Structures are given as C-alpha cells and as structure tokens.
A and B are shown apart, each in its own frame.
Chain A
Amino acid sequence: MGTAPPANFEALEAQARTLLAVFIAAGHEAVAPPIIQPAGVFLDVLGESLRGRTYVFTDLNGEELCLRPDLTVPTCRLYLERHAAADRDAYYSYNGPAFRFQPSGADAAHPREFRQAGIEAFGVADREDADARTLTLVLTALAQAGLRGWDLKIGDLALFDAVLAAADMPERWRRRLRHEFWRPDAFRAELKRLTSGPARSAAAFPRALVDALDPGDPAGAESLVAAHLEEGGMELIGVRSAAEIAEGLLAIAADAKAPPLSTAAAELIDSYVRTRVPAPQATAHLRKLVGKGRSGIAGALDAFERRYMLLEESGLDMSGVEFSAEFGRNVGYYSGFVFEVIMASLGPASAVAGGGRYDGLLKAVGAPHDVAAVGGAIHTERLLAAVRGGKR
C-alpha cells in the first residue's frame, strides 16, 4: 500500500540510472543528502501546511526530526555544508526517496513514499540561461527514459512581483498580496478589501499612541512604544522588539489613513493573475496588458522573453506550451520561473516533473545572503507508469 510493488524495483532502478546518467553528463554531480532531516528547517521554511504532510518524529534525545518531504531543501543544506559562505556555483543531481502523508489516503499516483530524481543549480549568475538549461535537461532526461507526448506548463513569479511593484500602493500591501498569492480565495478577498476602504480600522489600538507616531521617525516611534509599554506595566517579552511592534502600529495607522487601492490597479493585478495563454503569445499579450512605460515590468518581461528565446533555441517545441500567470502559487518558496510536465494519462494533479527558481530559499536555510538557485525534480514512479502506459 502506498509503495511501489516489488515488480517495479528493477524497472525503477534502471530508469534511475538512465536519468542520473543524463544529469551527470551535463555536469551535475550526483549527491545523496540524508533522508532523516531536522524538522525545524523544513517547518520554518515551508510552514505548518506542509507539516501536516510531513512525517515528523522525536528521537530518543528529544530532537525533532522528519523524513524529508522533498530533496530540494536537503540538497540546499548539503550545498551549505560544503560551502558555508555560499560564494560559488554548484550543480547537483540526486535520486532517492521522499515521504509525504497523503490526507485522502495513499494510492499509486499519490504514494506516501516515492523516489525523486532531480537537479539543482546554485549560484549561477545568468538566471534565464540557468532556467532554460534546467528545464531542457529535465525534458532530455524524461525523453531518454522513454516519455513522449507530454504537456508543458510554465509560469513566472518574478512577473507577478513586477506587476505588483508597478501598481501604486504602499509596500506593505504588496507584501500582503504576495503573501496571499498562493491561496487564490484569500488573494482575491485581500485585493477586494484593499480597494474597498481602510485596510484596518485603528479603533482597536491605543488611540493616543497611534496618533503620536510619526512614520518618518521609526526611532522616535520605537521609544514612544517603549514608554507606552512601561506606563501600562506591560513587560516586553518574547522575540519581537519594541521597534517591530512600533512598525506594526505604524502600518496600522498608515492603513487606516491610506486611500484605497485604485480599481484600475486592482483590475490589472486581477487580469494578470487570470492570464493563461499559449507560451508563444505570452510576451505580446503581457506587454499589451500592462502597457508601456512601466520600467519594472519591462525588465521582468525582457527576462521572460529572453528565457523563452533560449528555450526555443535549445530546440524545444514551444507551440504546445501553456503560460499560466497564477501557476506556481502553491509552493511557498518559488521566486521566478516555474514549470510542470503533465501527462494526459495521469492527469494535471499528478505532474511527472516540476521545478523552478527559488532564489530566497538558501538564505532561509542558513546562507549568509540570497543565492540564485533553480532546480527540477522527476516523480519517478509516475514517470515509469506514464512510460509503460504509453507503450500499451
């Protein structure tokens, strides 16, 4: 139940050798990060929603550990163990088990234990080139393993960021929208809320204090908050500082005074998020949608277009590829290009492979600064099922 029947063992091993040979030939060193990982890293990076699907346990020393739910974070950790300063590029590949609790029951398409084969590229400065190479290499490996006739879906979270950056609103509203992006209902609700009135009434907060705070003087705000706490006999406990609390109050005060988000800006964001077009038309469509003169969006669109050209130059047939603006919202750590390989025989909920760019993850895992990072992984049991299904 939930694991591949023994008859698949040989076939999976042979398939893994094929995939890894493609990765290694392209310069990706094969690595084997530990299966048992400290739970804290995953839970701090990925949040409580993934904890519900991660096998977490406490060992005899009381240490909270988990069976890795994917191989990307363990590979990031391996890179940082080797290069703590995160100051050089590295190309890795792997093939090994990952574990996820399946809330609606494990089955062949959603096993609780499955093998991921994949690649990661860290510290590569030419992002579009690394994006294109990653996707091309994953597709080469899939083809080498015998897969034919897949559907490819791409997205770009950097474009979403650029669309938000171009809309006229306070930075903290953008943060909130970015933060809600991966939950479509919450995102739409937040967008509507921002257009319809004060984002938050200041009535629930200490009025005199809120009125006295000066947004242009954070240090002054901090000492006002410290004085207010002292006066009220409220001890400053916990990790949050008086400065952070002051920042929170300033945001509340500013929200209460700020004019609502313009309907035009909200409509632009909403129509961007709803965009689904064939990839060859995506650049033109998006340029038309966002208009001219928005230099921030123009930069992100140029990068999108350049990546598209690189993919086309690599010989990839882009005619059947779909661009979806909201695609990629369901994994917290992606920050740019995202892709997914779907087989009609398995359905859209069971992608054979997927990946993308995640420039913020290494820092969250302990790197001293953001590190350019892109990778892709293949769900090997699904790949085998798809290849076999195709032959029948």
Chain B
Amino acid sequence: MSARLTFAVPSKGRLMEQTAEYLAEAGLRLRKVGHDRGYRGEIEGVDGIDVAFVSASEIVSELNNGRAHLGVTGEDLVRENIANVAERVSLLKPLGFGKANVVVAVPRCWIDVSEVADLEAAAVAFRREHGRFFRVATKYVNLTRRFFSHKRFADYRIVESLGATEGTPAAGTADLIVDITTTGATLAANGLKVLEDGVILRSQANLVASKVASWPAETKKARDALLARLGIEAEPAQR
C-alpha cells in the first residue's frame, strides 16, 4: 500500500483537461475509481499508481509534505508556496500548457514609471505626498517580496488579494499589483501596464516530483514506468 506512487493531478478546470490531454498523447488514460465524483483514480495500463484529483494549489502542499510523489501544477504556485524549492521538489518537465506570467503592473497613466527603478523614485515622492508606502495587491506575497528585494525596491507594503486583483488600483485599495496574466488583455481592460522589467516569472504547468516523499524501490519503479511512457528522463539524483 505505502509503496504505491501517488500522482496528484488537477481536479478541475482547464488545467485538468490539459493534463488529461497531455497524458492521452502518451497513450495514458486517467480513470476515476469509486463513485462518479470520486477524488481517486488510476492510470489504465500502468501499475502501482494511485491518482489523486486535487486543486492545483493543494498539489503543491501535497508534494511539499510528501503525501504525493508526483504532481502536475503551475511553477508559479510551486515558487510562491515553497520557500526552499530546490530542497523540497524537482521540476521534472515543463508541459507546454497552463502558460502565464507573474508580472508587476501599474496604472497606464503612470507615464513616469516604466521600470522597477522608476517605482522607487515615485515611491519617495508618493510617501511625501500621501504619508504612506505604495500598496501592492497580490496573492503572490512571497514571489513579490523576493522580486522587489532582488530589485532593491523596499518602499511598498503588500495587501493580500485573493480575487479581482487587477481592479484594486482603480478602486483605490492598492496602487499597483503583482498578478498572473496570459494575454495582458485583462490588465489593459483595467487600465494597467506591465513594467518593462516587471516579469517576475514565466510560468507553465510542470511535472513535479517530491523530494521529501518516501521513495522505496517499488515506488521508484512505478515512477520510472510512468516517466518512460511520457518520454521523460528522471534526474540522476532521483535514481
């Protein structure tokens, strides 16, 4: 039982469909077991694998705490939710779907701000005028902190936003945002532009392996069988 490999795949939405398509291209079919709306499944024709259908963000925590061995999830979620990524998981392969960029976006009318460095100058004047730091609305608290710290920009404060982030500057609850965008259309519709050096991460769905799950020989065998079918080399460290 414990030697079986747990493979976590997205349970809903476009990401679930694309994961199923990706596996189908390799001739692998996901099948739910139990009643129709069950959260467990298996892969037809590959032994020793339990499929767990969970939300993409939960997949990250399952990999991070070792309850799942492999999973399909966005790199943005991995880098946001795991502090020491390299120690906890391996990003085995970008899968070519679920593409989106995590970006810093400011109001288009800020024609005096085109790079993060300009943000610094604007922040000094803003603080003098309004007596507070810029507010950055985002759900990517950790990615934002790391990026701004790398860019030596410190005059901001994060307001956590779990939905409709792109509307916060117009609403006045934030001054700029860090959010995910695919085409930029939503940002533009909300009067925002991406800073020239404001792409924090070009994210896409990845096949991710947990480094903290237990990997007995039988589990490794199941993994190697799955990866072989997908045409992916496991990292040498994983053997």
Contacts and interface: CB of A to CB of B under 8 A. Distances in A.
Interface in A43-69: 43-44, 47-49, 51-52
B109 A249 contact: no
B111 A234 contact: yes
A47 B125 contact: no
B184 interface: no
B113 interface: yes
Interface residues of A, number: 39
B111 A206 contact: yes
Given A51-B158, A200-B117, A244-B125, A237 B130 contact: no
A237 B172 CA distance: 8
Contacts of A186: 152
Interface in A323-353: none
B111 A228 contact: yes
Contacts of B169: 237-238
A251 interface: yes
A248 interface: yes
Given A51-B158, A244-B125, A239 B175 contact: yes
B121 interface: yes
A183 B125 CA distance: 19
A385 to B, nearest CB: 31
A148 interface: no
Contacts, number: 109
A44 B130 CA distance: 11
In terms of DSSP, what is the predominant structure of the interface of chain A? helix
A236 interface: yes
Interface in A188-225: 200, 204-206, 209, 225
A238 B113 CA distance: 14
B111 A205 contact: yes
A44 B111 contact: no
Interface in B165-183: 169-170, 172, 175
A52 B157 contact: no
Given A48-B156, A237-B169, A248-B125, A229 B109 contact: yes
A238 to B, nearest CB: 5
A237 B170 contact: yes
A237 B107 contact: yes
A251 B124 CA distance: 12
Interface string A86-126: 00000000000000000000000000000000000000000
Residue with the highest number of chain B CB atoms closer than 10 Å, among A49, A183, A209, A244: A244
A252 B172 contact: no
A252 B124 CA distance: 14
A53 B11 CA distance: 36
Contact of B114 (A204, A229, A238): A204
A245 interface: yes
B46 interface: no
A179 B170 CA distance: 28
B25 interface: no
A251 B110 contact: no
22 contacts: A47-B157, A48-B133, A48-B145, A48-B154, A48-B156, A48-B158, A175-B128, A204-B114, A205-B112, A225-B111, A234-B109, A235-B109, A238-B175, A239-B175, A240-B107, A240-B122, A245-B112, A247-B125, A248-B112, A249-B112, A251-B121, A252-B121
Given A176-B121, A240-B175, 16 more contacts: A52-B145, A175-B128, A176-B124, A179-B155, A204-B196, A205-B111, A235-B108, A236-B109, A240-B107, A240-B122, A245-B111, A248-B113, A248-B121, A252-B118, A252-B121, A363-B131
